[in-house]
Amino acid sequence: MSGRVARTVLGLAVRAAPWSLAGVLLTAVLGAGSAVTAAWLTKTVIDRLTAGGAVLWPAVALALVGVAATVLPQVDQLLRAELAREVGLLSQDRLYRAVNGYAGLAPFEDPAHLDRLRLAQQCGQDTPVQLVGSVLSLCRAAVTVTGFVVSLAVISPWLTAVVVLGAAPALLAELRIARVQAAVAVRVTPLERREAFFSNLLGSIQAAKEVRLFGIGDHLRALMRADRRAINAIERRAQLRAALLQGGPALLSAAVCALGLVWAVQATARGVLSVGDISMFVAGVAAVQAGVASIAQSVAVAHRHLLLFQHYVTVVDTRPDLPQLEPVRSVPPLRHGIELRDVWFRYSERHPWALRGVDLTIPCGRSVALVGLNGAGKSTLVKLLCRFYDPTRGTILWDGVDLRHLPVAELRARVSAIFQDFMSYDLSAAQNIALDGVPLERIRAAARLAGIDDTLAGLPRGYDTMLTRSFFQEPETADDGVILSGGQWQRVALARAFLRDTPDLLIMDEPSSGLDPAAEYEIQQTTRRHLGRRTSLLISHRLNTIRDADEIAVLADGVIAERGTHASLLAAGGRYASLFAKQSAGYVGVG
């Protein structure tokens, strides 16, 4: 797996910014060579000075190496920043293409998956650049260390061996620390995700009313602080452990260095080494130790990032969450109808059954209404029809073909819906109805059907007005957006559903819950006209809005308990009749 992970990381860097990557590599090679060159030139200058030789060219060369050593880190920094930007862009794009590819909703309801996604977001941005950085540091350190090891070996082979071996425990310690840090990142992710949730609640308009009215801000802040404290505690423990692991090897290394220095000074005093040798020796021991420590750290950083990047690879490579059954059939226009045959469903094995054997037919060109108490499973059934989940048992048939044989995108292109929990986007009015370049005239026609065209056209910037006050229209103009009322938002959502003007199935889950009675009546008439002989599934708690449906089905205890027309169900005197009587009594009471 780690080979594949490493290939993916480097592939990302190569694809995203090949020139910056090449530049970073080149500066690394030049930088690595400069240290050892400088040390040799210094030794040459000192030796020639003490022996009375010519020093001009070595001194000029030393000066040039010094200039290069000053400029190279800055060039390197610029190139790495560019590499980071481009890699961040590409990795984010790939990650969200994968996320967008989930056909169903289950991954978004799995905390483990959401943790992995957060880790993937973080390491998608960081890992490639960090990994390239550590590989380069490693190469640079390897070149430097090799240069100095060879140079030191000329002076004293046994001392060189001791210096190199003395630094080896640091490598093992760093690898251990890398594993600890990777485990820490995994442990803190759920806490960070929850912390972000609290921070969003405290900082966003959506929750601001309730937070203030119910005075829960301090409580939320305390919960957020508790999460941060827990994160800090985990990180503190890991840091202490790392310090302990690093302490021993660092002491060993320092002791070797000190002993070596004592030996070198005595050897120079005895005339065994030259004065130039001792400068080379001091530079060499320090560089070898620093180099080996840097190699250890680079290996450790690379190791940690590879461990974490597995999460990115896992998310990007996730297999389809809703498998397509063979043979794949294309989705023809609906001709006969949609049939749910003994459909059982629960959200997971840990959840209770939401549907327990639903049999229901929605004939082509007819309108079917679904009613039932809260939690009866109506919205669940809608989600199954859109194939956001597959039935746990039983089948849903589109003109006799199991939905699992149909390409999900083709199926959804034939369905339009207004969901109970419809979205309101922090975007312009036009974008709230259609995002993908639909001509304004079509958008306005849909808005007209939903009875919201006049309102939207009358906004300060018409259909370009932002329906939010969280963002400016354009940052430079600082134009304020507008806030629509709940019912107006519902009409915008209806317009979105009406835009797909020839859906084979139109689903409306509580389309009028936020509307005033006059608007409800008007929308009802429009919808009826718009629906025409279109196949539709209508869900509403307001029974007067569905009484004209061709068939009404009552969902109770996970099954279709009653079905018929409004009149036949009233005559039967069952659940529907009882619900209707209660609602009518409410209205009579109000009157």
Ligand X SMILES: Nc1ncnc2c1ncn2[C@@H]1O[C@H](COP(=O)(O)OP(=O)(O)OP(=O)(O)O)[C@@H](O)[C@H]1O
Binding-site ranges for ligand X (CB under 6 A): 109, 347, 351, 354, 372, 374-380, 420
Q: How far is the CB of 110 from ligand X (least distance, A)?
A: 10
- Minimum distance from residue 418 beta carbon to ligand X (Å): 13
Closest to ligand X by CB, 304 or 378: 378
Closest CB to ligand X among residues 355, 523: 355
Helix axes 486-499, 517-531, angle to 10 degrees: 0
Q: Would you call the peptide bond into 511 cis, given omega within 30 degrees of 0 as the criterion?
A: no
Q: Considering beta carbons, is residue 370 or 433 the nearer one to ligand X?
A: 370
Residue where the block lists tokens 């004293």: 156
In the block, tokens 């059907």 appear at: 449
Q: Which is nearer to ligand X, 382 or 443 (CB)?
A: 382
Exposure string of 231-267, with b = 16+ CB inside 10 Å and e = fewer, is beebeeebeeebeebbeebbebbeebbeebeebbeeb
Residue 348 CB, nearest distance to ligand X (Å)?
7
Tell me the closest approach of the beta carbon of residue 394 to ligand X, in angstroms.
16
In whole angstroms, how close is the CB of 347 to ligand X at the nearest point? 4
We find the least distance from the C-beta atom of residue 98 to ligand X, in angstroms, to be 22
CA distance linking residue 523 with residue 352, whole number of Å: 36
Name which of 129 and 537 has its Cβ closer to ligand X: 537
| 336's tokens | 């006969």
Q: Rounded to the nearest whole angstrom, what is the least distance from the CB of residue 85 to ligand X in the complex?
A: 38
CA-wise closest residue to 412 among 296, 309, 547, 505: 505
Nearer to ligand X by Cβ, of 134 and 380: the residue is 380
Only one residue has tokens 């030789």, namely 53
Residue 506 CB contacts under 8 Å (≥ 6 apart), including other chains: 415, 416, 417, 497, 531, 534, 535, 536, 537
Residue 217 CB partners (closer than 8 Å, separation 6+): 202, 211
Residues in CB range of 244: below 8 A, 6 or more apart: none
Judged by beta carbon, residue 169 or residue 372, the one nearer ligand X is: 372
Provide, rounded to whole angstroms, the least separation between the CB of residue 582 and ligand X: 15
Cα-Cα-Cα-Cα dihedral of 259, 261, 262, 264, to 10°? 120
Place of tokens 């260390």: 145
Query: In this complex, which beta carbon is closest to ligand X, that of residue 300 or of residue 371?
Result: 371
Residue of 316, 297, 345 whose CA lies nearest to 124 = 316
